[in-house]
Amino acid sequence: MTAAPVATDSVVARPEAGTGRLQLEALTKRFTGRSGTVTAVDQVTLDVRAGEFITLLGPSGCGKTTTLRMVAGFEDASTGHIRLDDAVIDHLPPQRRPMAMVFQSYALFPHMTVAQNIAYGLRLQRRTREEIATSMRMALTSMNLVGMEDRSPHELSGGQQQRVALARALVVQPKVLLFDEPLSNLDAKLRDAMRAEIRRIQKMFGITSIYVTHDQDEAMSMSDRIVVMNKARVEQVATPGEIYARPSSVFVADFIGRANFLEAVPERIDGTSAVVTVLGRQLTVAAHPTVAAGGVGTYLMVRPETMRLTPVTDGGTGIGVVLRSTFHGPSIDYEVETTAGTVTVTEVGKDPREALGEGTNVDVTIDPERAYLLTQD
């Protein structure tokens, strides 16, 4: 998708420098029904910097959408506070919060044209005809919608409808832009293109953004930081790289990407490092602060692409045997039965004609620089 040139008219512009800082303070939401009280969001505290792109990521039912709806004003918090630029906004209804939301269903008005859908929020704000025209021109250009002004939503593709929804959110110049799983209805190829488009637009306008998804690839490719949620609580807040390489728990490590978990008792702790013996080799690896020497219930997290297989020749037995291999184009996945259990190993850029056959005896080596020792959740 080719990025269109963007004008610099002041009607559609970046929020003022330093605006859009969003703070959630011990935010909690409880729902009470016939079966009792359910805590959907439990003591969520988060400080989102102005212009930052934050993703709330987690499995269904973890509380991410409820958190977003409280920020938008669609749900009232049971306890806790929401601040925008240091001002408490708990009491403000959705229409008075300087925010805009892009929904999973696009929420376009079917009886309105593209132009009328985009201009809807501006008319609610009672903008002048000249302001609306200028903002419309900017939105249509920046979102590659020029020439589609008079079409109805049903005449657009899914990607075009999503761009109309995004344009409608942008033209009202929100301080915070909210996304509720906006790409889940698109096919994989279009979803990849729209990820890049949303991130480009967000950076261009510098709008603080909160994005909800259960898709780890979306979170990893788009976010400045990721908030991993589980069972109504925040498990970890960090950059995509930090979460992938140094997860705070077995849950986070397992939810983000793929990982092998090898039971390993730390023989010695040296600051942030630990000495463990895994697959017949003694390794010095990075360790989570909760890991203690001699402690039980500790696991070495090893990503599949950080392991290597070496065929054993001359009648050797090695420490593992290939159970099966799966060709994915750019990579080959192996399931290997080892002395520590079954592990997955990924070889990237390997010629499929050189793939190891089932039953091959192999040595398995781990890159200690990319392994991480965790305690059981």
* pLDDT 10s digits, 301-348: 999 999 999 999 876 678 899 999 999 889 999 999 998 999 999 999
The yes-or-no verdict on residue 10 having pLDDT over 80 is: no
Task: Tell the residue number behind the tokens 């697959």, with chain if given.
Answer: 279
Question: Is the distance from CB of 306 to CB of 367 less than 8 angstroms?
Answer: yes
- Phi, psi dihedral angles at 34 (to 5 degrees): -60, -35
CATH 2.40.50.140 maps onto the chain at 258-375
Q: 2.40.50.140, 3.40.1190.20, 3.40.640.10, 3.10.129.10: which CATH number matches 258-375?
A: 2.40.50.140
Q: 3.30.70.1430, 3.40.47.10, 3.30.70.260, 3.40.50.300: which CATH number matches 22-245?
A: 3.40.50.300
Question: Is the distance from CB of 251 to CB of 230 less than 8 angstroms?
Answer: yes
Cα torsion at 11, 86, 218, 142 (round to 10°)?
Answer: 0
CA distance 178 to 169: 9
Mean pLDDT of 248-259: 93
- Tell me, what's the pLDDT at 104? 79
- Tell me, what's the pLDDT at 7? 38
CATH 3.40.50.300 maps onto the chain at 22-245
The yes-or-no verdict on residue 281 having pLDDT over 60 is: yes
Strand order in the sheet with 372-375: 260-263, 298-302, 372-375, 281-287, 273-278, 268-270
The yes-or-no verdict on residue 256 having pLDDT over 60 is: yes
pLDDT in tens, 186-223: 778 888 888 888 898 888 889 999 999 999 999 999 99
Mean pLDDT of 116-120: 87
Amino acid residing at 118: I
Question: Is the distance from CB of 145 to CB of 160 less than 8 angstroms?
Answer: yes
- Tell me, what's the pLDDT at 6? 38
CA distance 239 to 245: 10
pLDDT range class, residue 125, cuts 50, 70, 90:
confident
**Which has the higher per-residue pLDDT, 159 or 76?**
76
CA distance 199 to 333: 31
Supply angle C-alpha 285, 244, 332, rounded to 5.
Answer: 90
- Tell me, what's the pLDDT at 4? 38
